Chains A and B, each alone.
Chain A
Amino acid sequence: MSQLQPNRSKAALNRFLPGLVGIAALSVLYWAGMNLELPGFLGKLTSPMLWRLLLQSTKETLWMVGVSVTLAVIGGLPLGVLLVTTTPGNVTESPLVYKVLTTVVNIGRSIPFIILLVAIIPFTRLVVGTSIGTTAAIVPLTVAAIPFVARIVESALKDVDKGVVEAAQAMGASPWQIIIKVLLPEALPTLVLGVTITAVNLIGYSAMAGAVGGGGLGDLAIRYGYQRFRGDVMLMTVVVLVLLVEVVQSLGDWAAETLNKK
């Protein structure tokens, strides 16, 4: 193991290199904007005004995505577990529960996000007291992500070696113990990858949150970059989004690989 260590840290560096380079480049631009007055397009890219907008929107995106991913995992995980354990031949089999759950999940997943966003406005108002703003956008994002997470959890748990589950049963494990001590730990690396996919998807979905005044990077790109023909804003939002996805994905990959003992 110990001989592998240098290789490992080298591999980790390689994995995070694009993200680190991107962050460094943005930091240089930010510093330049705060300290220098550059001419032409470079001046536009380093304008303090643009950076204030970018920082604000990035924060909004991170907030929306962070909270909705967390809530979606909290909601989707038990649902996904149930989808697995209620299938015939499984620890708490129940065809009826499975049928109901799978139908609900399918319906949830088939509604286009932009429609869901508008359709559940009354529900959003009920939950957070308002239907516009960043926090209000979290509700539809979460609702959209729960069935997605549920399916991801389902497929991750189904991948767990049947023999291992059987061994646990043979040792007298209860259904609950099998879920907590076998299925989830064994599926953890896959689950982490699944959560990463969810987060990346939600970064994309959150761009539509502007429709309910949610703000965020996507909203910035549409309002300034598209509607006001501000190429500099458009460019920088896209760069930040790309970087965000890059960082989230490489973190997720790294975590999954570290957790995977297979």
Chain B
Amino acid sequence: MIEIKNLTKVFTSNGNKIVALDDVSLTIKKGEIYGIIGLSGAGKSTLIRCINMLEKPDQGQIFIGGKEITALSGRQLRKERSKIGMIFQHFNLLSSRTVAGNVAFPLEIAGTPKAQIKERVNELLYLVGLADKANMYPAQLSGGQKQRVGIARALANNPEVLLCDEATSALDPQTTKSILALLQDINKRLGLTIVLITHEMEVVKEICDSVAVIDNGKIVENGPLVNVFAHPRTEAARRFIKGVIQIDLPEEVKEYHLRQVDDSKSAVIARLSFIGTSAGEPVVSSLVRHFDVDANILAGNIDHLKDVPFGTLVVELRAKNGGLDKALKYLAERGIEIEVFNDEPTSA
């Protein structure tokens, strides 16, 4: 659906060159919710603003539905833009227009006939649950309601793509949840492709199918959500994941237990990651039953990545007679990710 190729954007401010995007390439599939996460200043906004050409990239190409948007300008660009919805951190509603007037705005821009506008506005307000607020002004709404107006407005022209620039960053956790639920509902119901940038891993974890981590203008990691969570390859990714699930051994556990593990042939401390169905299975107990192994659970939690259960357990496994290798193999066969801590006791 969206194909970004070798995108580069350099800002010059006060004679300093800031490379906001450095050779970024991404493919976003039709109908998926794609999260782009990064720290402040990483280049997230610049990237998403390039997708509808609010920012003109210096190099590279962007294709949306096969059409090269970076090659367009003027009237053609405006026509393409009307098919790309966008919502913003600060909502950016017209304060002089009512809720209905704001939703009608993109339709007026596109030259939709008056009678049709009215009908479509009612439909959209119903969709986002604001049918009773049609004649209110944005100043009379809460943040969550404003963002719903923003969403209704973005959907007015039946876009195929919805761009969300920190759409929930100005909202409290409760409201964030309800807005994310609405986005997910729209994604399912309308088959809309959603690109969502955020600095909150919670948001990504909640609704994204795929995620890209952007750091210093570079995409350092990307792929299906579960993969990135299960195998973060870069420090940047680990930092974000650490924020929402515990992936490192607590300091005191590490110190105490690693000291006990003298021989890695007979004892290990390992982090087991369960993804999907295996998270529901009593793997540890069957391990203990099938092999001559003692398992001591040191830490653990279960979480959800979008709809996929994702669990981690830190266990100390002790085995006599070289049973350990077999035990680990058994776990691996059941689709469990294993990371052994003994090998790098200083990892943090």
* Residue positions of A touching B, CB distance < 8 A: 161, 163-164, 166-174, 177, 181-182, 185-186, 188, 259, 261-262
Do A181 and B139 touch (CB < 8 A)? no
Q: Which 8 A/B pairs are nearest by Cβ-Cβ distance?
A: A172-B82, A167-B92, A172-B81, A163-B92, A172-B78, A261-B137, A171-B106, A170-B86
Do B96 and A186 touch (CB < 8 A)? yes
Q: How far is the CA of A179 from the CA of B280 in the complex (A)?
A: 58
Q: Taking chain A's interface residues, is the majority helix, strand, or loop, or is none over half, making it mixed?
A: helix
Q: How far is the CA of A185 from the CA of B104 in the complex (A)?
A: 15
21 A–B pairs (Cβ distance < 8 Å), ordered by A: A161-B92, A164-B92, A166-B54, A166-B92, A167-B93, A170-B52, A170-B84, A170-B86, A171-B81, A171-B109, A172-B81, A173-B78, A173-B109, A174-B78, A181-B105, A181-B109, A182-B94, A188-B96, A261-B95, A261-B96, A262-B95
Q: How far is the CA of A161 from the CA of B95 in the complex (A)?
A: 10
Beta-carbon nearest neighbor of A189 in chain B: B96
Q: How far is the CB of B102 from chain A (nearest CB, A)?
A: 10
Determine the chain B residues whose CB is within 8 A of the CB of A185 once the complex forms: 94, 96-97
Given contacts A164-B93, A261-B137, A169 and B109 within 8 Å (CB-CB): no
Cβ-based interface call for B90 (8 A) = yes
Do A163 and B109 touch (CB < 8 A)? no
Determine the chain A residues whose CB is within 8 A of the CB of B137 once the complex forms: 261
Q: Which of B54, B94, B108, B110 contacts A169 (CB 8 A)?
A: B54
Determine the chain B residues whose CB is within 8 A of the CB of A261 once the complex forms: 95-96, 137-139
Q: How far is the CB of B165 from chain A (nearest CB, A)?
A: 10
Q: How far is the CA of A170 from the CA of B93 in the complex (A)?
A: 13
Determine the chain B residues whose CB is within 8 A of the CB of A166 once the complex forms: 54, 88, 92
Interface centre among A164, A168, A172, A259 (most CB of B within 10 A): A172
Q: Which of B52, B95, B105, B138 contacts A168 (CB 8 A)?
A: B105
Q: How far is the CB of B121 from chain A (nearest CB, A)?
A: 14
Determine the chain B residues whose CB is within 8 A of the CB of A163 once the complex forms: 88, 90, 92
Q: How far is the CA of A111 from the CA of B174 in the complex (A)?
A: 60
Interface string of B133-167 (1 = CB under 8 A from A): 00001110000000000000100010000010000
- Beyond the given A163-B88, A164-B92, A170-B84, please list 12 additional residue pairs across the A-B interface where CB-CB is below 8 A: A164-B94, A168-B109, A169-B81, A170-B52, A171-B109, A172-B78, A172-B80, A172-B110, A174-B78, A188-B96, A261-B137, A262-B139
Q: Taking chain B's interface residues, is the majority helix, strand, or loop, or is none over half, making it mixed?
A: mixed
Q: Which of B54, B92, B109, B157 contacts A177 (CB 8 A)?
A: B109
Determine the chain B residues whose CB is within 8 A of the CB of A177 once the complex forms: 109
Q: How far is the CA of A185 from the CA of B106 in the complex (A)?
A: 16
Cβ-based interface call for B329 (8 A) = no
Q: How far is the CA of A181 from the CA of B96 in the complex (A)?
A: 10
Q: How far is the CB of B161 from chain A (nearest CB, A)?
A: 11
Q: How far is the CB of B105 from chain A (nearest CB, A)?
A: 7
Q: How far is the CA of A173 from the CA of B96 in the complex (A)?
A: 17
Q: How far is the CA of A161 from the CA of B139 in the complex (A)?
A: 14
Q: How far is the CA of A169 from the CA of B157 in the complex (A)?
A: 14
Cβ-based interface call for B79 (8 A) = yes
Do B94 and A172 touch (CB < 8 A)? no
Beta-carbon nearest neighbor of B110 in chain A: A172
Q: How far is the CA of A164 from the CA of B88 in the complex (A)?
A: 10
Beta-carbon nearest neighbor of A164 in chain B: B92
Q: How far is the CA of A221 from the CA of B95 in the complex (A)?
A: 45
Determine the chain A residues whose CB is within 8 A of the CB of B82 once the complex forms: 171-172
Determine the chain B residues whose CB is within 8 A of the CB of A174 once the complex forms: 75, 78
Restricting to B191-245, which residues have a CB under 8 Å from any CB of A?
Answer: none
Q: How far is the CA of A262 from the CA of B96 in the complex (A)?
A: 7
Q: How far is the CA of A146 from the CA of B96 in the complex (A)?
A: 26
Q: How far is the CA of A138 from the CA of B52 in the complex (A)?
A: 49
Determine the chain A residues whose CB is within 8 A of the CB of B106 once the complex forms: 171-172
Q: How far is the CA of A172 from the CA of B81 in the complex (A)?
A: 5
Interface string of B68-89 (1 = CB under 8 A from A): 0000000100111110101010
Q: How far is the CB of A11 from chain B (nearest CB, A)?
A: 18
Q: Which of A161, A170, A186, A259 contacts B81 (CB 8 A)?
A: A170
Determine the chain A residues whose CB is within 8 A of the CB of B54 once the complex forms: 166, 169-170
Q: How far is the CA of A145 from the CA of B82 in the complex (A)?
A: 40
Restricting to B302-346, which residues have a CB under 8 Å from any CB of A?
Answer: none
Interface string of B93-135 (1 = CB under 8 A from A): 1111100000001101110000000000000000000000000
Q: How far is the CB of A160 from chain B (nearest CB, A)?
A: 9
Do A172 and B109 touch (CB < 8 A)? yes
Q: How far is the CB of A151 from chain B (nearest CB, A)?
A: 22
Q: How far is the CB of A190 from chain B (nearest CB, A)?
A: 11
Q: How far is the CA of A144 from the CA of B79 in the complex (A)?
A: 42
Q: How far is the CB of A144 from chain B (nearest CB, A)?
A: 30
Do B79 and A186 touch (CB < 8 A)? no
Q: How far is the CB of B69 from chain A (nearest CB, A)?
A: 12
Restricting to B27-60, which residues have a CB under 8 Å from any CB of A?
Answer: 52, 54
Determine the chain A residues whose CB is within 8 A of the CB of B105 once the complex forms: 168, 171, 181
Beta-carbon nearest neighbor of B93 in chain A: A164
Beta-carbon nearest neighbor of A261 in chain B: B137
Determine the chain B residues whose CB is within 8 A of the CB of A181 once the complex forms: 105, 108-109
Q: How far is the CB of B109 from chain A (nearest CB, A)?
A: 5
Q: How far is the CA of A247 from the CA of B210 in the complex (A)?
A: 63
Q: How far is the CA of A182 from the CA of B137 in the complex (A)?
A: 15
Determine the chain A residues whose CB is within 8 A of the CB of B157 once the complex forms: 171
Determine the chain A residues whose CB is within 8 A of the CB of B93 once the complex forms: 164, 167
Determine the chain B residues whose CB is within 8 A of the CB of A168 once the complex forms: 105, 109
Determine the chain B residues whose CB is within 8 A of the CB of A164 once the complex forms: 92-95
Q: How far is the CB of A172 from chain B (nearest CB, A)?
A: 4
